[in-house]
A and B are shown apart, each in its own frame.
Chain A
Amino acid sequence: MSAATDVVEEVKEKKSEPLFSKKNRKLISNPLDIDNPITVQVLGICSALAVTTQMKPAFIMALSLTVVTASSNVAISLMRTTIPSRIRIIVQLAIVSLWVILVDQVLKAYVYDVSKQLSVFVGLIITNCIVMGRLEAFAMGNKPWPSFLDGLGNGFGYGMILMAIALVRELFGGGSLFGYKVFAEIGIPYQGNGLLLLPAGACILLGVIIWVQRSLNGYREAH
């Protein structure tokens, strides 16, 4: 995995590098394309299928996950030298759940209806493979600033796919965008596609996105 090589480079580096060096910019841009957590690493599929029937909950979910990943990455990175390796998973879990509870409370306070819609999926961010994966693979071996960027990048990569799926599902499944009845406003009679509203429809859409992405960038699974 790329994280292992990052560790080695980090040790060699003596001079302080600029905040947005080429390597740091890569931390943000890679998860958007060639190292996307959903379409390439195939993590976080459950929530990608569950919360994407509408744009609004998908957006809130993506935002919450980005906040949680970035902040727990920073927290773990700060503690990385002091965590005994035998209990590191439980320490990571404790920190992630702290952030998740905070995010959950904020959602309940300010966007209660969306919070109700997302129901358990906010709580399930604790066990989201992307969050755990970034902590294990990146934050445990890197400084806080790159870890923060890595968390943001992966959150954006996740959010991008979530929004793309939600866009198609809400527009063609329900005929609206962010709850705004697009087709009805234009005056086109549109019959919603029921398959897209089912999780199976989201799974097919995700497959199509992976298909398109791989034929564009030529990515091949290593055997």
Chain B
Amino acid sequence: MKFLRKQLDSVKHNFEKGGKWEKYFFAYEAFETFLFTPNTTADAKGAQIRDAIDLKRLMMTVIIAMLPCLIFGMWNVGYQHHLATGQTGTFMDALVIGLVKTVPIIIVSYAVGLGIEFVFATIRRHPVNEGYLVTGMLIPLVMPPDIPLWQVAVATAFAVIIGKEAFGGTGMNVVNIALTARAFLYFAYPSQISGEVWTFLGEGVKPVAGYSGATPLAIAAASTGNAATDLSSFGAGWADGMYSVWNMFIGVIPGCIGETSTLMCLIGAFILVFTGVGSWKIIVSVFAGAWAMGLLLNAIGTTPFAQLPAHYHLVMGGLAFGAVFMATDPVTAAQTETGKWIYGLLIGVFTVLIRVFNPAYPEGIMLAILLMNVFAPLIDYFVVSANKNRRLQRATV
């Protein structure tokens, strides 16, 4: 630590006013404050409200909450690879395969995203924001393990420049940046991020007999008889009972790197709620909205997918991951307390609606969250004006 401090101090004068790298002061400052607490805190006599938590700490908490998903996801990449190719491997074998596939995606995401952040911070002469720490980890978690790295780079660049910097940087974005990156790939290069791309097979490796890469959502959408039976009979011969509710809850199914496991998402949700970083109202209401819509469709729906028991919707696809890590994004979610309930409920409702009724989009959570991100300010506006009216009626003047 002392060594680092010394090194930083020895080059500091170059970046200060009048120094030869004056232009890059904010790039330097970002490194410095990343390593050490800034020495510009308020003193003990100040009247400010002080809290031990700052933006960097907040972001690190979210990253810690994502770690269970990430580690489970890495192992699952390898596990699915073993399952699909008929090999057997230990826990470590699976984890190593997952590491090899996942770490490059994470590196590309951080390198491209932070690079753009540094460029914009230098041009606009403002400190580098910490906002990208979380986004940079979210992007790999919502990618399939086989995604080409250049696509990750292009999508990250698009999301950071168009989704964030065009609107003014961290905290000014209208829609969730990680989901912008995913939506970009979804519309720009659909063949690598939809269909049967969710299991890493490897170059020229033959899958086992009877193998199919179909996801639970695709099976339910294509079902002509009973969707629940189709799901439980999937994988016969090579992975019996793969899509049972329990398996989907635990997450040993193909999918994006981080989103398969509802259990790990719930552990992350617990960390977020316990530390006060994420809003439990949004998380609960997304699940409630999806479940309620599922029940409603059970009652009135006619297609096999609509008849699928409502609790399936809670464990299939990326609903849990979206609810816990995407919908709770403090920048793009509704800010008022009542608004959070409405916002979350509508995300859940739209997710199930898109899943069941739109054959072009098997998964609905991404588009549902992006849609409600856009409407969050409007929800807040109506909540605030309803509150005003209520108080005006009570006023006696």
Contacts and interface: CB of A to CB of B under 8 A. Distances in A.
Interface string A166-197: 00000000000000000000000001011110
Nearest to A205: B162
A207 B188 contact: no
Interface residues of B, number: 7
B157 to A, nearest CB: 12
Contacts of B184: 195
Contacts of A193: 188-189
B187 A194 contact: yes
Query: Among A191, A200, A204, which residue has the most Cβ atoms of chain B within 10 A?
Result: A191
Contacts of B190: 194
Contacts of A208: 162, 166
Contacts of B187: 194-195, 198, 200-201
B189 A204 contact: no
A211 B166 contact: yes
B189 A194 contact: yes
Interface in B156-208: 162, 166, 184, 187-190
A195 B189 CA distance: 8
Contacts of A200: 187
A39 to B, nearest CB: 15
A202 to B, nearest CB: 13
Nearest to A172: B188
Nearest to A200: B187
Interface in B112-146: none
A204 B189 CA distance: 17
Contacts of B188: 193-196
State the main secondary structure of chain B at its contact with A: helix
Interface string A201-223: 10010011001000000000000
A193 B184 CA distance: 10
Contacts of A204: 162
A191 B189 CA distance: 8
B360 to A, nearest CB: 13
B148 to A, nearest CB: 9
A76 B184 CA distance: 46
A208 to B, nearest CB: 7
A109 B187 CA distance: 37
A208 B167 CA distance: 12
A200 B186 CA distance: 13
A4 to B, nearest CB: 34
A201 B187 CA distance: 9
Contacts of A198: 187
Which of B162, B184, B188, B189 is the most central at the interface, judged by chain A CB atoms within 10 Å of its CB?
Answer: B188
A196 B190 CA distance: 13
Nearest to A191: B189
A70 to B, nearest CB: 35
A211 B162 CA distance: 10
Most chain A CB neighbours (cut-off 10 Å) among B162, B184, B187: B187
A207 to B, nearest CB: 7
Contacts of B189: 191, 193-194
A7 B303 CA distance: 66
A194 B188 CA distance: 4
Nearest to A207: B166
A215 to B, nearest CB: 10
Contacts of A196: 188
A200 B367 CA distance: 15
Nearest to A193: B188
A191 to B, nearest CB: 6
A183 B144 CA distance: 27
Nearest to B151: A191
Contacts of B162: 204, 207-208
A10 B188 CA distance: 52
B155 to A, nearest CB: 10
B190 to A, nearest CB: 6
Contacts of A211: 166
A206 to B, nearest CB: 12
Given A195-B184, A204-B162, 9 more contacts: A191-B189, A194-B187, A194-B189, A194-B190, A196-B188, A201-B187, A207-B162, A208-B162, A208-B166
Interface of A: 191, 193-196, 198, 200-201, 204, 207-208, 211
14 contacts: A193-B188, A193-B189, A194-B187, A194-B190, A195-B184, A195-B187, A196-B188, A198-B187, A200-B187, A201-B187, A204-B162, A207-B162, A208-B162, A208-B166
Closest 8 CB pairs of A and B: A195-B188, A195-B187, A193-B188, A194-B188, A194-B187, A194-B190, A204-B162, A195-B184
